[in-house]
Amino acid sequence: MIALVRIILVAIFAVLMFVFGCGYCLFSPRNPKHVFNFGRMFGAMHRVFGIKLELRLPEDAYKRSQAIYIANHQNSWDLFTVSSAVTPRVVTVGKKSLLWLPLFGQIYWLTGNILIDRANRSKAMGTIDQVIDKMKESHLSVWMFPEGTRSRGRGLMPFKTGAFHAAIGAETPIIPIVCSTTQDKIKLNRWNNGHVIIEMLPSVDTSEYSKTEVRKLAELCRDQMKEKLKDLDDEVDARNSADGVKN
């Protein structure tokens, strides 16, 4: 019964977002301010799923200059959890196939996000170059999922290098964001789905890395995120155990 109510609420939310959201975005299509506003709206839906979300951001998170933001990518729950960590003047980079997802795909494009054709390596690299050019001519930051796919409980997957090429090319720092594990821990038919913690890590200076050291930079960031993910999972498990929430 709980699952049915949640599905109905999400369906209503999706329709409202499509009708009013698309209409709103048409007044200023592709405006990056929409990414922040809609990210907060989607993130607020965590309450519908019985998730206690804790967002750990530094005091200056909303005032930072340009950066490449990277986050772990687990599953569809990211839409209602990790989206809460999006800060102003940030657009995201996603697969071109997202455009064809009913409701969500159209909102994703209208809000100003960047779509990459990952099936074609030359096009993907061309898009990274466009990201770099866009950042250099604006004050936009870019959010990317360096794993390139959902991990679905397999831990932190190997990183692709696109985000790190972009950071070095645009001469911006990298800001890692880590969300505690949600795979198999959130159940539609359970009232209390326990804690999820999202933490923004200190920025990583990329000024000393050349284009030939992209893999080294990627591994440095991955090691930091992997360690933080373990720490967050341990903390979440302890909290859930104290609250009587079973995985």
The predicted-structure confidence for 58-108, as pLDDT tens digits, reads as follows: 999 999 999 999 999 999 999 999 999 999 999 987 778 888 888 778 888
What's the confidence (pLDDT) of residue 124?
Answer: 54
Is residue 121 scored above 60 in pLDDT?
no
Q: In this predicted model, which residue has the larger pLDDT, 57 or 123?
A: 57
Q: What is the mean pLDDT of residues 100-119?
A: 80
What is the distance between the alpha carbons of residues 198 and 80, in angstroms, rounded to a whole number? 12
What is the distance between the alpha carbons of residues 33 and 48, in angstroms, rounded to a whole number? 25
What's the confidence (pLDDT) of residue 223?
Answer: 97
Both structure tokens of 23: 């209409």
What's the confidence (pLDDT) of residue 55?
Answer: 97
What is the distance between the alpha carbons of residues 241 and 127, in angstroms, rounded to a whole number? 45
Q: What is the mean pLDDT of residues 172-187?
A: 96
Write the CA distances from 236 to 44, 71, 105, 169, 190, integer angstroms: 20, 18, 32, 37, 17
What's the confidence (pLDDT) of residue 123?
Answer: 54
What's the confidence (pLDDT) of residue 119?
Answer: 60
Q: Mean pLDDT check: name the lowest of 47-56, 79-88, 110-119, 195-204.
A: 110-119
Q: Mean pLDDT check: name the lowest of 121-125, 187-191, 214-218.
A: 121-125
CATH topology of domain 2-243: Glycerol-3-phosphate (1)-acyltransferase (3.40.1130)
Is residue 31 scored above 80 in pLDDT?
yes
Dihedral sign of CA atoms 241, 184, 39, 23 in order: negative
Residue 133's nearest CA partner among 142, 146, 121 is 142
What is the distance between the alpha carbons of residues 35 and 88, in angstroms, rounded to a whole number? 8
Count other Cβ atoms within 10 Å, centred on residue 65. 10
**Binning pLDDT at 50, 70 and 90, where does residue 140 land?**
confident
What's the confidence (pLDDT) of residue 62?
Answer: 93
Print burial letters for 137-148: b (CB count within 10 Å at least 16), e (below 16).
eeebbbbbbbbb
Is residue 19 scored above 90 in pLDDT?
no
Q: In this predicted model, which residue has the larger pLDDT, 225 or 104?
A: 225
Q: What is the mean pLDDT of residues 39-53?
A: 96
What's the confidence (pLDDT) of residue 125?
Answer: 59
**Binning pLDDT at 50, 70 and 90, where does residue 112 land?**
confident
Compute the mean pLDDT over every residue in the chain, rounded to the nearest whole number: 91
